[in-house]
Structures are given as structure tokens and as C-alpha cells.
Amino acid sequence: MGSKNPRLNFTYSYIYDQTFAALSGNKYFEGTSNEAASYMKALEKEFSRFSGKVLAGIPKVSGLRWQKPYIDVYISKYAPSSFSVPLTVRMYKNAKVGNSILVHELVHNIVFQNQKRIRYVKLFKDFRSEGTMTKYHIIEGAILYLLNRDIFSDGLSGFFEYDNWASPKADEAYRHAISIVLERGAEKIIKSYISKG
């Protein structure tokens, strides 16, 4: 099973988003589904520019395989953040930002689909002094770095332009993770913490 590129199914769930709104103390705006439909169209268009290279490139650089024939991508106005399972992308002002976040979450998603191949015990032991968020972004940072390098010729360009882990404005966990990737080498991290399939 696996290896064929999955199909992404962009979708909006009124119930899902309304639940996020209620949990965050926000009032759900009735026009949100129309806003989400417009955003989905812009995000799908932006992602289509890179979809083949991204969906084939992630397994190529990581050695992991897609285990599912399709992945639902939920669009949300009220989610507290974007996350990988279920794959959820917040509505950002710019579709380029949303696209970069989508690629980030796809990397988390393939790692989640292949959990048995991830050497978490070794990773957590080797980086025991780092915070949990940093630990969970070291492998993903290595994959994103190599993907950017393959597509854009520079590991810190491309999708990192809009999801910039190295920026002083980035969350400290992301800055630590990408600094570890740059210091130790992305290929070495993948070889050390992802077992052969």
C-alpha cells in the first residue's frame, strides 16, 4: 500500500467550524461558508501550481509513503491553528500563506501516516533538552528544507517565504527546529530518525 500521490479533497464543514467558534467564545458568522468557498478556490488554485512536485517530492526526500488514496483538507475560519490530522488549514489573508501552511501540514500528515517508521524514542533522547514542539518539528523541518531545495534550489526559500521558521517573528520551537536541521544536516536527520521501509 502507498506511494501513489493522494488526491486532496478541499472541504468546508459548517459543524466543524461552528464547533471551533463556540470553543473559542466567538459567534459564528452565517456568511462564513461563502467566505470559505471563495478561500478554498484561491487555495486550490495556488496549490495546483505545486501539487505534483509537493505530493511526489515529500515521499522522495523523506523515504516515507503516502498510505491513503485521498486526504480531506478542511478549511476553517475559527480553528485556533492549522494542524495535520484531520488536516485543517485556517483561512489566512493570503492564499500563498495558506498554501505554505498546507505543505507544512502535509509533511506532518505523511509522518503521522508512517508513525511506525519514526524513531521517536531516539529523537526524544537525542534532543531531551528541547521542548516538545521543537522535537516534533525536527523531522518535519528536515523534510521541508529538502523539499524547498528540490523545488526552489534553496532550502530556506519557497514555502519558507510564507511559513518562515528562521524569522525572528517565528515561534521559538520552529526557530530551534530549523537551526538543528541546518546544524546537523537535513539528510542526516532523516537517515537517523526515519527507519527504512
List, for residues 88-100, the tens digit of each pLDDT value: 999 999 999 999 9
Containing structural domain, residue 28: 7-115
What pLDDT, on a 0 to 100 scale, did the predictor assign at position 70?
Answer: 96
Domain end marker among 61, 89, 115: 115
Q: Which residues of 75-106 are buried (b: 16+ CB within 10 A; e: fewer)?
A: bbbbbeebbbeebbbbbbeebbbbbbbbbbbb
Q: What's residue 136's pLDDT?
A: 95
Q: Are residues 39 and 102 in the same domain?
A: yes
Same domain, 25 and 103: yes
Boundary-marking domain end, from 73, 96, 115: 115
For the chain, give the percent of residues with pLDDT over 90.
84
First vs last Cα of the chain: how many Å apart? 12
Quick one: 106 and 19 in the same domain? yes
Say if residue 17 is in the same domain as residue 109: yes
What average pLDDT does this structure show over 5-20? 96
Residue 1 domain flag = no
- State whether 27 and 88 are in the same domain: yes
Under the banding of pLDDT at 50, 70 and 90, the label for residue 30 is confident
In the chain, how many domains are there? 2
The C-alpha angle with vertex 12 and arms to 97 and 80, in degrees rounded to 5, equals 55
One domain, residues 12 and 47: yes
- At residue 162 the predicted structure's pLDDT band, cuts being 50, 70 and 90, is confident
- Kindly state whether residues 12 and 81 are assigned to the same domain: yes
Domain co-membership, 33 together with 127: no
List, for residues 44-80, the tens digit of each pLDDT value. Answer: 999 999 999 999 999 999 999 999 999 999 999 999 9
Asked if the model's pLDDT at residue 1 lies above 70, the reply is no
Residue 121 lies in a domain: yes
Q: Are residues 60 and 111 in the same domain?
A: yes
Does residue 132 share a domain with residue 79? no
Phi, psi of 10 (to 5 degrees): -75, 130
Is 70 a domain residue? Answer: yes
Q: What is the pLDDT of residue 165?
A: 78
The mean of the pLDDT values for the chain is 94
61 forms beta bridges with none
The pLDDT > 70 percentage for the chain reads 98
Mean pLDDT of 151-168: 84
pTM: 0.95
Widest Cα–Cα separation across the chain: 49
Do 189 and 97 have their domain in common? no
pLDDT at 197 over 60: yes
Model pLDDT for residues 100-142, shown as the tens digit of each residue: 999 999 999 999 999 999 999 999 999 999 999 999 999 999 9
Same domain? For 38 and 100 the reply is yes
- What one-character DSSP code corresponds to residue 28? P
